[in-house]
Amino acid sequence: MKSAAEEDSLDMANMTEMPENFEITSEQMVKEVMPLFHGPFVKMRLRHTDLEYTVSKPLLCKASPYFDSMFKDNEIGDVEQIITLDPIDGAVSKRSIEGVLQWIYTRQIHCEASLSRADEIASAIEIARLADLWRIAGALRDTLAERIKKAVLASRGKAFKKVKAVIITRQHIFSAGYLPQDHAVRRIVVQAAMGAFLRTDGDCYGREIREHPSFGADLLQELRPRLNQLIRKGQRAGIADPLDGKGYLCLRFCESNGE
C-alpha cells in the first residue's frame, strides 16, 4: 500500500506543468490547476521569527523543482511536514517569502504602495534571489525585471539628462550579482546603470566595478553589441537607451561643454 506522500508524488507527476499565468480554459483550470490548491499542506517557517505560512504542498512542488526534489527525497508519510528557512540578507526574508508565495498562488506580484522606487527595486531583486534559490524560473523573472524597468523609467526626470539622479544603488548591484549572469533581473539592473556610467568619466559606478568585477563584465557584455549600432547626431554619438529603446544615451566624449 502506497503512503500518502507517494500518492501525492504520483498525482503531481500526472499533471501538466504549472501554467505561467491563469489565461487558460475553464476545463484546464478545474482539472489541472485547482487540485494543486487542495493540499495536503506544509508549514513554512522563517527561523528566529514567529512567522509561519501554511502552503499547499502540490502547488509548491509544482512551482519549485527544489521543493519537489526535497520532498521526494524525504518522504515521511502522513507526519506534518515543516520547512524551516534560514534568513539570508537580501534573499530570504518576510518580504521575499511572501512575494514568491504570492506569485505561486496568483501569478502576480504586488509591492506595498508606500515603497520608494529604490526600495521597490530592492524588493524585486530580493524576490528574484529567493525564487532562484527555489529554482523557480519562467515568467517570474521577466515580471520582476519589468517592475524594475518601470521603477527606473518613472524615476527619471529632467535631471536624468544631467546625470543628477542615480536610482540604481551599490546595494542593488551587489545583490543582483548573486543571480545567474543571464537572469533578466541582473541584466535589467546593469542596463539601468548604463546611462550614468556612459555619461561620466568613471566616477559613477567606478567603485562598484572595482569591488565587483562581475558588474564591470556585465556592463561590457551589455554595451558591446550596442556600440556596433551607434547613433550619430551631428558631432555627437550615442546608443539607444536599453530600457525603452527610444531614449538616447550620449557618450561622454561626444558631449559639448555645458552638458
Residues 6 or more apart whose Cβ sits within 8 Å of residue 73:
none
* Average confidence (pLDDT) over 219-242: 78
Phi-psi group of 204: left, alpha or beta (phi > 0 → left; psi -120 to 50 → alpha; rest → beta): beta
Whether the CB-CB separation of 71 and 61 falls below 8 Å is answered with: yes
Whether the CB-CB separation of 171 and 209 falls below 8 Å is answered with: no
* Structure letter (DSSP) for residue 29: I
In angstroms, rounded to a whole number, what is the distance separating the alpha carbons of residues 182 and 178? 11
Give the DSSP H/E element, type plus range, for residue 115.
none
Q: In whole numbers, what is the pLDDT of the chain averaged over residues?
A: 81
Confidence check: pLDDT of 17 > 60: no
In angstroms, rounded to a whole number, what is the distance separating the alpha carbons of residues 126 and 100? 10
Residue 58 CB-density burial (10 A; 0-12 exposed, 13-18 middle, 19+ buried): buried
Which alpha helices (DSSP H) does the chain contain, by range?
Answer: 4-14, 26-28, 57-63, 65-73, 94-106, 117-133, 139-155, 158-161, 170-176, 184-198, 206-211, 213-227
pLDDT-derived band of residue 11, with 50, 70 and 90 as boundaries?
Answer: very low
Confidence check: pLDDT of 110 > 80: yes
* Residue 231, beta-bridge partner list: 238
Total-model pTM: 0.80
What is the structure's pLDDT at 127?
97
Confidence check: pLDDT of 29 > 90: no
Domain coordinates in residue numbering, the chain = 1-87
Chain segment 154-178, per-residue pLDDT in tens = 887 655 554 445 689 999 999 999 9
What is the structure's pLDDT at 9?
41
In angstroms, rounded to a whole number, what is the distance separating the alpha carbons of residues 118 and 166? 10
What is the structure's pLDDT at 15?
44
Counting residues of the chain whose pLDDT is more than 70, the rounded percentage is: 76
What is the structure's pLDDT at 80?
64
What is the structure's pLDDT at 6?
44
Closest CA to 237 of 224, 254, 258: 254
Give the DSSP H/E element, type plus range, for residue 116.
none
Instruction: Pick the more confident residue, 134 or 23.
Output: 134
What is the structure's pLDDT at 21?
56
For residue 251, the Cα-to-chain-centroid distance in whole angstroms is 29
Chain segment 115-157, per-residue pLDDT in tens = 899 999 999 999 999 999 999 988 999 999 999 999 998 887 6
pLDDT-derived band of residue 19, with 50, 70 and 90 as boundaries?
Answer: low
Confidence check: pLDDT of 43 > 90: yes
In angstroms, rounded to a whole number, what is the distance separating the alpha carbons of residues 212 and 92? 22
What is the structure's pLDDT at 238?
75
What is the structure's pLDDT at 103?
94
CB atoms closer than 10 angstroms to residue 172: 21
* Average confidence (pLDDT) over 201-226: 84
